[in-house]
Each structure stands twice: as C-alpha cells, then as structure tokens.
Amino acid sequence: MATVAEPKSTGSYSADDIDVLEGLEAVRMRPSMYIGGVDSKGLHHLLWEVVDNSVDEYLAGHCSDIKVTLHKDGCSCTVGDNGRGIPVDKHKKYKKSALEVILTVLHAGGKFSNKNYGRSGGLHGVGSSVVNALSGEMTATVHRDGHEYFQAYCRGVPRAPVKKIKPFRGHGTTIFFRPDEKIFRTIHFKSDVIRQHLEDISFIHGGLKITFVDEVKKETHEYSNPDGIAAYLDKILSDEKRKSVHEEKFSIEKDASDGTRYEVALRWTESSDTWVRSYVNGIRTHAGGTHESGFKSGITKAVKNYMEVHEIRPKGIAVGPEDIREGTCSILSVFHSNPMFQGQTKEKLNNPEVAAQVEGLVRAGVETWMNNNSTIADSIIYQVIQAAKYRMARREAVTEVKRKSASSKRVTLPGKLLDCRSTKPEESELFIVEGDSAGGSAGMGRDSRKQAILPLRGKVLNTESLTVSRAVANQEISDLVETLGTGIGPNFDIRRLRYGRVILLMDADSDGYHISTLLLTFLFRHMMELVRQGRVYLAQPPLYRISIGKDVYYAQDDAAKEEILSGLAANRKYEVTRFKGLGEMTPQQLRDTTLDPKTRTLLQVNIESQVEADQTFSQLLGKDASERYRVIMEESTMVDDLDV
C-alpha cells in the first residue's frame, strides 16, 4: 500500500511532463495493474497465466496433456503442452514472427475472435506478454510444421530473432520463465499452492491430464479427473468433513444455444455457512459475478416453488433466501465464448445475460430433481425450516436484550476498553491494538461514535493446543472475550456480538505479524463463526513516511517504498522515516492511513479450505517442534531479508 496525504503541487505542468511508455514499459512500471500485486499471489499469477494458455488449447480441442515443472531453485517454472504450437510465421503488420509479437506486444493474440478459440480465458491478449515483461529470463520453444523453433527474452526484450533449431515430429509449446527479482518481493514459488491449483483445474476440465514435476521436493503428481466437478465437490466435502443432509448430489450440465456451457454440482450440508466455488473457462472467479448471482437466485426460486406446489407452509415461519441457501456447498463452472471479466486478474464475471441463463437452468433443474426425489426433498425442506426458525429466534433474542446497558458497559467490560457510543453492531468496529501507546494514538484518532479500541499488553497467549478454560484464564484473552460479548467455545453465540467488524491493528513489523498470527489462531480455534461470517479483518498500517518537498507519502512495506522512490528524479531530495510502532504515529497520521474508512485498506480474513488452515495452524503453532522446524526449513529459501 502506498497512500498520499494532502498532496501539494508547486511546479509547472506542461507537455514536457507527459510520458509515453513504449512496449512493455507500462507493465514493469505498474505491474499491479496486470497481476494484482507483486506479492506471492502476484508471483503465482504469472504461472497461472502461462498454464491458462495451455488450457485454452485444450478447450479448443487441440491439447490433451499439460506438464508443469517447478525447478530445483524454486524460482523458475516450465509449462509445456501438446497443443498446436504458437504460430511462428511472419506477422504482416509487425514484419516479425507471430511468436515474438504474442510474447512482446500487449493485446496481441488469437483469442479476440472465435475463429481459433471458441472458449478461452485469455481474452485480453496481455497474459503471455505480461509474464515476459515481469521475468528476468524467459524462453519459448515451439514445435509445429515439422520443426522446432526457439526464442529467448530478458525482461520482455528478445535476445535474438526466432530461430529454427531442427526438424521435429510433434507439436506443442513450452515456456520457461524466471520472475524478475527486481519486481517481486520474493521469487520463490510454493509447491503446495501450485499443486492445489493444478488439481483444481483437472477437476474443472474433466479429461485433461496434468503432470506436476516438483524438483524442489523431488515429487511428481499426475491429475486426471474425468468425472469433473461432481467428483470435485465430493472431494472438498470429504476433506472438510462436512456431512450432507441427503445421499444423492444435484448435478446438471447444459450446452446453451449460443454455445455457452454450464456445469453445476450442489449439496445441502449440516454446516451453517454457505459457499460457492465458481469458474469461467476454468479460471476461478473469487469475487463471483453474474453467474453466481443467477445461481443463488435459481436455488431460492426452485425451493420456494417446490414448497408452494406441495403446499408446505410452516405456521408462523417466513422462509427467506438465506434460510434456503444455508448449508449449501456448490461448484459452478461456465464456459463462455466472450466472457467479460473485471480486470486482468479475472476474478469477477460481468456478462449480464449469464445471470438469467444460470438462474433458469438451476431453478428448473433443482425443482425437477426435488420432485423426482421426495426423500431428498423432505431432508432439504426440513433443514430450510430449521434454519428459518433459528434465524427468527435469533432476531427475537436481539430485540429482547439491550446490547449495551449502562451497567454492562461499566461492570462487565474491561476497563482499558475505549468503547464507541453507537449501540448498533452493524456500524460498530472494534480495533484490537498492540500496547497502551498505540491504544492512546488510536483512541485520539478514531471516530468515537463508531470505533472502539481495545489495547493488548505484550504478546497474546498461544492458544493452539489449549482448552477453553486455560485460554480464558489468560487476562488478555479474557478481556477480548468479554469485549466481543459472544462467549467462547460451546457457549459461543454470534447473536451477542457487539461489533460488526473485528479489526486486528498491529505494528507493521515481525512482532506485529506474530501477534496477529496468535490472535488469528485463537479466533480460528475458539470463535470460528466470526471468521466464517467475514467479521475479522487485518488493518494495513504504513511502515514508512516519505517526505518529498511539501508532499507526504506513506508506504506499507519496503516494496511500496521503493516504488515511490523509483519514480523520483535523480536529484530530487526526500526524507524517509520508519515507524518503529503505531505509538510513534500521531493520531492524525493514524486516522489518515489506517482508521478512516475513506482512506484505509482492510484485508478480510477468509478461509478457502478449512483443512489447509487447520494444518497450517497445527504446523506453525502446535506442540510438535519437529514439524515446525520442517516447515521453516522448507520455506526459509523464500525469505530474502528477515525483520528481527
């Protein structure tokens, strides 16, 4: 994060100040615009872009095998496929090989029309060239037309023209790349992240064979799942130990008249939360979109129609959409010839027509399925009614109990809590801060009407292996539980939560990260529902203050600082101040950068896989020191500089 506070310009502004970035310069100057960031997620996004190109060959019917190799150094990858091979003949406009054009020119590719790719994820024509621009080294080997062709690049610039190497029987493309360490905070890939992503792809594209060669761990994994998303849903529910309320899952596939293909797999489970994993042309749409909206609406209408037709009208109970969808776990996959993604990272689908198509498919499909399976339908309706009863009981309890009476505020709440004046949980926020000094600055910089501050003294207790009674015996943990008001363990009741958001605000250094990890461990083990319902957030305070003349900038980390400084003229004077802690920031600085909803950045804590999260907490904070040592040794190569 790099934020600007009160910029003041004193110089002239003319045509001489206008820069025009040529070729791939814009990508290197602002990589976050293309890959979302220069952190580990952005690093792995490079690999996903290359893999997606191979998957597009599979979707076009010209590829059956993809091989991904993580090399011994852990910093470079190779992706190969047996597709048609990138064209190498001379491009009429650019007078150079099409291979070079595709890998060095933004918005160049064969996916802007449906002539060569009926459905694909790479529709912006920037994926391969962006990977090239952000790689210190990249090579392309192409097999087609009876020969092998080769070209090498450095930071997006060809080292030499495309060269015909030798005769070759076969076809396909192989891309090797090593991310540029001048761009990314770390260039070490994570084997487990790659493995999980490739396994997911193999389910979404049933029939595609993917081989992952992990030279770091000296392992080879092969993935092929012809049963597709139906098998994928079973695997996820098994891994997360979720119990279904019915035996047979709902699944449906359909090819629409416009060529769009829809695949859906769905189960109702005994869990109280709901999740949908959605994909478009094999790309995970984490932020959802129109396909998810149509899917949710389709489920709601199907169950409502079933209840109306069968005259199921529970007395005194009004069933709502959230009751119908409670406990549903589903996978939705759409293959579209012209998907409109929001941004290059493609995390959200915006095609308006898809919503109605998915809704119609799911509504009719689920309703027919329930009509044909009365036992399954009875189990689902029972769960829906129970969810409605619980919701109504919760609402009645909230209206009966005053959340903040004068006595409870003074007697049961910790004395060090700086509470807010609002009695409405939906607009209230609790900041958990590190130490009394930071608590003082935050207290003076907050909006006292809606923001409460709870300072903690010292490092929080590691509760990973503790019982509830031992955890609450710790004063800091006890204060936190009392402040939240929900109770803990078997007595936890989220209906009594006093704040809509619980925000961890720690120093932007190693000690702060450690304390945040300890708090997340406690919340994960003893207040899981807070995390599941998206109530927990991480604040992003700055680590640096950069003064450049009369302008003041804030940078969250070293990478953001270097990005700001790299844009300065060579002779421009500046001053960098490193905050040793939140207590060193003035209340105004803390308000402008971290507390004010208009200017701050919050990271919501989400759990994609409860199984993986459970394993991570056990490994890093459990009693088995040997397991922790193993993880540290495996991950140590990814750390360039330790903040100790």
Q: Considering the domain boundaries, does residue 467 fall inside one?
A: yes
Q: Give CA–CA dist 462/517, Å, rounded.
A: 9
The CATH number assigned to the domain holding 486 equals 3.40.50.670
- pLDDT at 409 (0 to 100): 43
Same domain, 165 and 98: yes
- pLDDT at 405 (0 to 100): 40
Better-predicted residue by pLDDT, 171 or 116: 171
- State yes or no: pLDDT of 123 exceeds 60: no
Better-predicted residue by pLDDT, 296 or 273: 296
Same domain, 342 and 286: yes
Q: Considering the domain boundaries, does residue 616 fall inside one?
A: no
Strand-pair category, 501-505 with 536-539: parallel
Give the torsion sign (CA, 608, 512, 524, 389).
Answer: negative
Percentage above 90 pLDDT, the chain: 54
User: Is 507 designated active site?
Assistant: yes
Q: What is the pLDDT of residues 568-623, one digit of tens each?
A: 877 888 999 998 888 888 999 999 999 999 989 899 998 876 667 777 787 778 77
Q: Considering the domain boundaries, does residue 636 fall inside one?
A: no
The DSSP letter of residue 573 is -
User: Is 511 designated active site?
Assistant: yes
- State yes or no: pLDDT of 346 exceeds 80: no
Mean pLDDT of the chain: 86
Question: End of a domain among 358, 376, 398?
Answer: 398
**Considering 253, 347, 447, 509, which one is annotated as catalytic?**
509
Number of domains the chain is built from: 3
Same domain, 378 and 415: no
Query: Does the model's pTM come out above 0.75?
Result: no
- pLDDT at 402 (0 to 100): 40
For residue 178 the two structure tokens come to: 């090593």
Q: Considering the domain boundaries, does residue 632 fall inside one?
A: no
Q: Considering the domain boundaries, does residue 152 fall inside one?
A: yes
Distances 272 to 275, 323, 387, 521, 612 between C-alpha atoms, Å: 10, 10, 8, 21, 20
**Considering 199, 447, 511, 558, which one is annotated as catalytic?**
511
CA angle 393, 316, 490 (to 5 degrees): 20
**Considering 326, 367, 434, 557, which one is annotated as catalytic?**
434
- pLDDT at 244 (0 to 100): 93
Same domain, 250 and 350: yes
453 phi/psi in degrees, rounded to 5: -125, 125
- pLDDT at 2 (0 to 100): 45
Question: End of a domain among 223, 246, 272?
Answer: 223
Quickly state the pLDDT bin for 22 (edges 50, 70, 90).
Answer: low
**Considering 81, 180, 419, 507, which one is annotated as catalytic?**
507
Same domain, 210 and 344: no
Question: End of a domain among 344, 368, 398?
Answer: 398
Q: What is the pLDDT of residues 424-466, one digit of tens each?
A: 999 999 999 988 888 888 999 999 999 999 998 777 888 888 8
Same domain, 211 and 236: no
The CATH number assigned to the domain holding 54 equals 3.30.565.10
Same domain, 217 and 260: no
- State yes or no: pLDDT of 535 exceeds 60: yes
Q: Considering the domain boundaries, does residue 578 fall inside one?
A: no
Task: Confirm if 552 and 586 have CB atoms less than 8 A apart.
Answer: no
- pLDDT at 5 (0 to 100): 42
What Rg value do the Cα atoms of the chain yield, rounded? 27
Q: Considering the domain boundaries, does residue 580 fall inside one?
A: no
Q: Give CA–CA dist 429/602, Å, rounded.
A: 12
Q: Considering the domain boundaries, does residue 554 fall inside one?
A: no
The H or E element spanning position 214 is strand 209-214
The CATH number assigned to the domain holding 304 equals 3.30.230.10
Distances 479 to 113, 470, 486 between C-alpha atoms, Å: 61, 14, 12
User: Is 180 designated active site?
Assistant: no
Among 63-72, 208-217, 538-547, the range scoring the smallest mean pLDDT is 538-547
Quickly state the pLDDT bin for 489 (edges 50, 70, 90).
Answer: confident
User: Residues 478-493: what's their mean pLDDT?
Assistant: 86
Q: Give CA–CA dist 616/634, Å, rounded.
A: 14
Quickly state the pLDDT bin for 172 (edges 50, 70, 90).
Answer: very high
Strand-pair category, 544-548 with 536-539: unpaired
User: Residues 405-421: what's their mean pLDDT?
Assistant: 66
- pLDDT at 144 (0 to 100): 96
Same domain, 76 and 186: yes
Same domain, 232 and 217: no
Task: Confirm if 241 and 295 have CB atoms less than 8 A apart.
Answer: no
- State yes or no: pLDDT of 8 exceeds 60: no
User: Is 234 designated active site?
Assistant: no
- State yes or no: pLDDT of 153 exceeds 70: yes
For residue 140 the two structure tokens come to: 């392309």
Quickly state the pLDDT bin for 385 (edges 50, 70, 90).
Answer: very high
Same domain, 350 and 246: yes
Task: Confirm if 128 and 176 have CB atoms less than 8 A apart.
Answer: no
Same domain, 246 and 363: yes
Q: Give CA–CA dist 500/288, Å, rounded.
A: 23
Q: What is the DSSP string of 423-474?
A: --GGG-EEEEEEHHHHHHHHHHHS-TTTEEEEEE-SSPP--TT--HHHHHTS
Residue 317's domain spans which residues? 228-398
User: Residues 145-165: what's their mean pLDDT?
Assistant: 96
Same domain, 519 and 379: no
- State yes or no: pLDDT of 410 exceeds 70: no
Q: What is the pLDDT of residues 41-79, one digit of tens each?
A: 899 999 999 999 999 999 889 999 999 999 999 999 999
